[in-house]
């Protein structure tokens, strides 16, 4: 009997605990405790004025503020905070380009990596180069050095990891100078551009690309000539007979460098990092697949690639620069699949956590940001605690339900309006009722207001979060190209930037001792 009573009490207690944890708190003390914890956290923040030995710049492609909010709610609820949202310093970046209010990834990456805003769809060149102007892009003064190039000038290591093609818009400004982001391989080079190299060749044949110690992503058809047909209008397939992966190997062997070239997760896991100073991983014909599709495949995850990259780069005692891109956030948004985009943003946060676990705030400046927004909206007054991918409410106008998440514009799959003509010859526009579909599916396309070829970018500001040396330099609303200059200062990459206060103090002490000895 006693045992029965104890079991019953345990069941009741468990039920009460479960009920308490499932109930959303709204009492006064809950809000006061949240605010108190945040205040105590703010009071503990101190500036780290040491030089940044290492810099990791992480870009969630297309990860605008609404994407982050939706990811936060999906990951842990409205009061949750993502790992990078607990960084001590943050600001906003204005993403407009030299010629457009709404930018693309090539010009925004150029701004982030090179400190100068450029025209939409151009790579690593200034705004005097218009899209497609091959000859102008060859003028030395127009070609912008990147943070990777500057790091290597200082004897540091540099590299990048992406879930996109290694020649795609975000990584390419680290090493290439091109009047057109689509010139990823020779097949996309039009007549009259023979003097310009495609982006893939610049990666393998030119500086600084050939000296990058980590190159990981997709894009095998751009590196090795193939008879494959392009997957879509944005993909390039090499046709000139070159095998740039073999050329990469020959270059490293001719210089006596220790390198590894891998093409799968299992090969990456078997890399001997103590014998590898240069690592190239090309894991897909084009972009890497979405993370939810990788179960049971031999494709590495973004966190796994991040860990491998840091293992290679951290061997340099002088430090390193690493760019990490979660590009499939953007790809999913372009397809109008909000849950898929947010799932990719969750994986991106896992990559942030991996970078955090492998580095120290004392010597590593870790920055998390985005290149641009998308037109994702959160609307409809849904209840707190409800499914972020679910139904918000019914429209007061037509009585048809709509989802919490929607897009301003989108491709055919997202344009869920049916247009018909009634008996009086009037045009009738009706939306599909999303409650009749599985809105919680990775394949579901949220409704879009304006039909276009595919969901387009937004022109809003993006968040930037930072921890580590000189993270406080990110503190208000900044121009996007400011990021380059702040990193340059924090890392002392250039003599053209003011010395760090700590360096000035040490120099002053040494000078004082010298003068004292001189007059002793």
Best CA proximity match to 301, nearest among 270, 326, 332: 326
Tokens (6 digits) for 358: 């492998």
The number of CA neighbours under 13 Å toward the Cβ of 280 is 24
CA distance 437 to 449: 18
Sequential DSSP letters for 108-162: HHHHHHHSS---TT-BSB-TTS-TT-HHHHTSGGGBPPPHHHHHHHTT-EEEEEE
Q: CA–CA separation, 395 vs 385, rounded Å?
A: 21
Instruction: Supply the DSSP string of 308-363, one letter for each residue.
Output: HHHHHHTT-TT-EEEEEEETHHHHHHHTT-HHHHHHHHHHHHHHHHHHHHHS-TTT
Catalytic pick from 97, 105, 114, 260?
105
Distances (CA, A) of 473 to 86, 92, 250, 464: 16, 12, 42, 11
Place of tokens 């997957």: 231
Q: Would you give the distance in Å from CA 190 to the centre of its chain?
A: 30
Give the distance, in angstroms, between the CA of residue 184 and the centroid of all CA atoms in the same chain.
20
Alpha carbon of 117 to those of 99, 108, 127, 309, 373: distances in Å? 9, 7, 7, 28, 17
Q: How many CA atoms lie within 13 A of 7 on its CB side?
A: 4
What angle do the packed helices 65-76 and 338-358 form, to 10 degrees?
A: 80
Quickly list DSSP for 410-474.
E-TTT--EEEEE-TTS-EEEEE--GGGS-TTSTT----EEEE-SSPPEE-S-EEEEEESTTGGG-
Catalytic annotation present for 178: no
Confirm if 176 and 209 have CB atoms less than 8 A apart: yes
Question: Up-side HSE of residue 49: CA atoms within 13 Å toward CB?
Answer: 10
How far apart CA 353 and CA 371 sit, in angstroms, is: 20
Element (H, E) at 486: helix 482-491
- Write the CB contacts of 168 (distance below 8 Å, at least 6 apart in sequence): 105, 162, 184, 217, 219, 287, 327
Phi, then psi, of 217 in degrees rounded to 5: 170, -150
Residue with tokens 């769809």: 121
Spell out the residues 6+ positions from residue 53 whose beta carbon is closer than 8 angstroms to its own.
318, 319, 363, 364, 469, 491
**Catalytic center residues:** 105
């Amino acid at each position: 009997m006693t045992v029965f009573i104890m079991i019953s009490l345990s069941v009741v207690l468990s039920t009460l605990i479960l009920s308490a944890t499932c109930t959303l708190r709204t009492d006064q003390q809950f809000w006061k405790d949240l605010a108190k914890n945040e205040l105590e956290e703010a009071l503990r923040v101190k500036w780290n004025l040491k030089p940044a030995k290492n810099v990791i710049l992480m870009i969630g492609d297309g990860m605008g503020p609404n994407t982050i909010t939706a990811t936060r709610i999906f990951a842990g609820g409205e009061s949750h905070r993502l790992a990078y949202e607990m960084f001590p310093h943050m600001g906003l970046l204005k993403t407009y380009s030299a010629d457009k209010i709404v930018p693309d990834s090539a010009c925004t990456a150029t701004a982030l990596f090179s400190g100068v805003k450029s025209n939409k769809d151009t790579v690593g060149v200034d705004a005097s180069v218009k899209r497609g102007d091959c000859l102008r892009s060859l003028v030395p003064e127009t070609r912008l050095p990147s943070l990777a190039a500057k790091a290597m000038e200082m004897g540091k290591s540099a590299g990048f990891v992406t879930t996109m093609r290694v020649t795609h818009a975000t990584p390419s400004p680290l090493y290439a100078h091109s009047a057109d982001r689509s010139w990823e391989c020779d097949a996309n080079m039009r007549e009259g551009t023979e003097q310009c190299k495609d982006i893939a060749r610049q990666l393998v044949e030119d500086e600084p690309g050939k000296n990058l110690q980590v190159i990981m992503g997709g894009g095998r058809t751009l590196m090795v000539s193939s008879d494959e047909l392009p997957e879509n209008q944005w993909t390039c397939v090499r046709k000139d007979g070159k095998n740039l992966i073999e050329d990469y190997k020959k270059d490293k062997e001719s210089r006596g460098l220790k390198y590894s070239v891998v093409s799968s997760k299992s090969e990456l896991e078997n890399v001997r990092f103590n014998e590898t100073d240069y690592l190239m991983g090309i894991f897909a014909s084009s972009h890497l697949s979405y993370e939810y599709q990788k179960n049971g495949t031999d494709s590495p995850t973004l966190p796994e690639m991040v860990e491998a990259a840091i293992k290679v780069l951290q061997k340099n005692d002088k430090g390193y620069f690493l760019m990490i891109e979660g590009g499939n956030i953007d790809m999913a948004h372009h397809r109008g699949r909000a849950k898929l985009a947010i799932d990719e943003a969750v994986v991106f946060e896992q990559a942030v956590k991996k970078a955090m676990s492998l580095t120290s705030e004392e010597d590593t400046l870790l920055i998390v940001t985005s290149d641009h927004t998308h037109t994702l909206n959160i609307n409809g007054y849904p209840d707190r605690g409800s499914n972020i991918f679910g139904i918000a409410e019914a429209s007061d106008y037509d009585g048809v339900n709509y989802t919490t998440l929607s897009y301003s514009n989108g491709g055919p799959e997202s344009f869920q309006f049916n247009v018909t003509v009634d008996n009086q010859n009037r045009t009738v526009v009706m939306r599909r009722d999303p409650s009749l579909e599985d809105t919680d599916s990775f394949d579901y396309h949220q409704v879009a207001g304006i039909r276009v070829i595919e969901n387009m970018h937004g022109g809003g500001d993006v968040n930037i979060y930072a921890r580590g040396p000189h993270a406080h330099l990110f503190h208000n609303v900044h121009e996007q190209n400011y990021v380059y200059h702040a990193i340059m200062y924090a890392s002392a990459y250039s003599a053209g930037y003011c010395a760090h206060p700590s360096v000035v103090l040490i120099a002053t002490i040494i000078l004082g001792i010298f003068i004292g000895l001189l007059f002793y």
